[in-house]
């Protein structure tokens, strides 16, 4: 049975090989008197039967967010609820919170003062607009009268009924009235700009005041509370962590050779370690379009309905799939025969070679596949029936003298 962890099956291979190798150090695999290492050989096996593969996944919430204040200040109130002991206390992890609930408040007095000041400036600017508009109306009336006067004077001037100074005076009064209108119009525009800026400042102050309260954005479970009454918070400092657990996700990784077994929308059976005898179902939500560059595996996300909130974040789920019979034999070797070379980031096994009348360990590069119980499949590098070092492989170095023991 193959078991893949979300951190990448290649790292598990290395860890498993190392652990099994460590378990072998207490056996009778030691250097003999001639300095040759005693090893046990195994034969590379071959099989075409379908194998059951179990993928391990960590359960995570559908949505999880850290909630933080946008303003700084001292916490003066935290949402309280009655506990199982009958006492009313601040919310503790595991509490259910409703959408829109006020989780905590920052002292609002400083922000209320800013709002009052900004609203006063806004009202003053609004009054300034009204005054500027009144000035404009007065200037426009003066301009209208100046136009009428100039029209009459112009007619008399054309009839040569008045002197030139009278005409010039009427023309000057018209120009002055026009200038007053232009100035008053500019004054109204400036007053409106001041009013717009003052209104924006008032809105910003009101937003800051509203931000002294922290609300739950959706129905959720409280995962963590990081503040108490009297805590000084700063903007963006996480105060609460909440999660929507009505639907959860399980993520696991699969190698490219197993991708054909998964498709979006596919229903998968699951088991959860915390509820060993209870079956669950999930639906494939997504299959990663690209492999993780480190593990070379593809992440698969499964959505699971959780209306009773029985499943919690961090639980381990197992997804078991039976693959198709192989169209060609699969090679298998014991896990403790596989060696990870961290310096060159490669996997190898040891065969035997003769040199100078001695039997020595010869490294053979291999590409491992999935786990098969206490064995691991080998994609390339070996042939069926080949003899390799099993027990003691992790104690060897290339070129070490070896001696086979029963």
Q: What is the pLDDT of residues 85-120, one digit of tens each?
A: 888 989 999 899 999 999 999 999 999 999 999 999
Distances (CA, A) of 256 to 9, 289, 294: 11, 11, 14
Interhelix angle 164-210/109-158, nearest 10 degrees: 160
Mean pLDDT for 372-384 is 80
CA 151/CA 372 separation, integer angstroms? 107
Question: At residue 143, does pLDDT exceed 80?
Answer: yes
Q: How confident is the model at residue 2 (pLDDT cuts 50, 70, 90)?
A: very low
pLDDT digits (tens, 9 = 90+) for 154-163: 988 888 888 8
What are the Cα distances from residue 313, in Å, to 132, 162, 169?
63, 98, 89
Distances (CA, A) of 138 to 10, 132, 172, 173, 359: 85, 10, 18, 15, 114
Residue 40 has pLDDT above 60, yes or no: yes
Residue 67: the pLDDT is 96
Q: CA 153 to CA 165: how far, in whole Å?
A: 11
Residues in the chain: 406
For the whole model, what pTM was predicted?
0.58
Percent of the chain with pLDDT over 70: 87
Q: How far apart are CA 118 and CA 111, in angstroms?
A: 10
Contact 318, 54 (CB under 8 A): yes
Q: Are 29 and 403 in contact (CB under 8 A)?
A: no
Most trustworthy range by pLDDT among 85-99, 120-134, 316-330: 120-134
CATH architecture of 2-51+327-404: Beta Barrel (2.40)
* Beta-strand relationship, 52-68 and 2-4: parallel
Quick one: pLDDT at residue 372?
Answer: 62
Span 214-237, pLDDT tens digits:
999 999 999 999 999 999 999 989
Hunting for tokens 């999660």 — which residue is that?
243
- For the cut 80, the answer to whether the pLDDT of residue 20 exceeds it is no
Closest CA to 108 of 217, 207, 198, 241: 207
Whether residue 322 is predicted with pLDDT greater than 90 in this model: the reply is no
């Amino acid at each position: 049975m193959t078991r893949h962890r979300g951190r990448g099956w290649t790292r598990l291979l290395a860890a498993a090989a190392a652990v099994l190798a460590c378990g072998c150090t207490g056996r009778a695999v030691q250097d003999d008197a001639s300095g040759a290492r005693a090893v046990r050989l195994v034969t590379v096996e071959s099989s075409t039967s379908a194998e059951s593969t179990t993928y391990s996944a960590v359960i995570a919430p559908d949505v999880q967010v850290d909630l933080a204040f946008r303003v700084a200040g001292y916490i003066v109130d935290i949402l309280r609820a009655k506990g199982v002991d009958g006492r009313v206390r601040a919310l503790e992890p595991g509490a259910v919170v409703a959408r829109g609930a006020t989780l905590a408040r920052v002292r609002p007095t400083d922000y209320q003062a800013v709002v009052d000041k900004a609203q006063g400036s806004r009202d003053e600017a609004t009054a300034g607009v009204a005054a500027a508009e009144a000035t404009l109306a007065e200037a426009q009336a003066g301009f209208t009268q100046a136009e009428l006067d100039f029209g009459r004077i112009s007619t008399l001037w054309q009839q040569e009924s008045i002197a030139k100074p009278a005409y010039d005076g009427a023309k000057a009064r018209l120009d002055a009235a026009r200038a007053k209108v232009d100035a008053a119009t500019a004054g109204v525009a400036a007053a409106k700009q001041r009013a717009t800026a003052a209104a924006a400042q008032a809105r910003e102050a009101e937003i800051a005041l509203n931000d002294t309260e922290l609300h739950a954005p959706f129905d959720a479970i409280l995962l963590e509370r990081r503040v108490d009454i009297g805590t000084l918070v700063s903007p963006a400092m996480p105060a609460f962590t909440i999660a929507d657990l009505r639907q959860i996700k399980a993520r696991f990784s699969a190698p490219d050779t197993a991708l054909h077994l998964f498709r979006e929308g596919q229903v998968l059976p699951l088991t959860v370690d915390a509820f060993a005898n209870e079956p669950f179902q999930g639906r494939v939500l997504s299959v990663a379009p690209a492999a993780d560059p480190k593990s070379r595996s593809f992440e698969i996300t499964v959505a699971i309905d959780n209306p009773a909130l029985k499943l919690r974040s961090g639980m381990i789920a197992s997804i078991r799939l039976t693959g198709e019979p192989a169209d060609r034999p699969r090679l298998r070797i014991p896990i403790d025969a596989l060696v990870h070379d961290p310096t060159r980031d490669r996997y190898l096994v040891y065969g035997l070679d003769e040199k100078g009348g001695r039997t020595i360990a010869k490294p053979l590069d291999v590409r491992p596949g999935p786990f098969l119980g206490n064995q691991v499949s080998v994609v390339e590098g070996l042939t069926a029936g080949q003899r390799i070092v099993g027990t003691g492989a992790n104690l060897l170095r290339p070129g070490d003298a070896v001696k086979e023991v029963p």
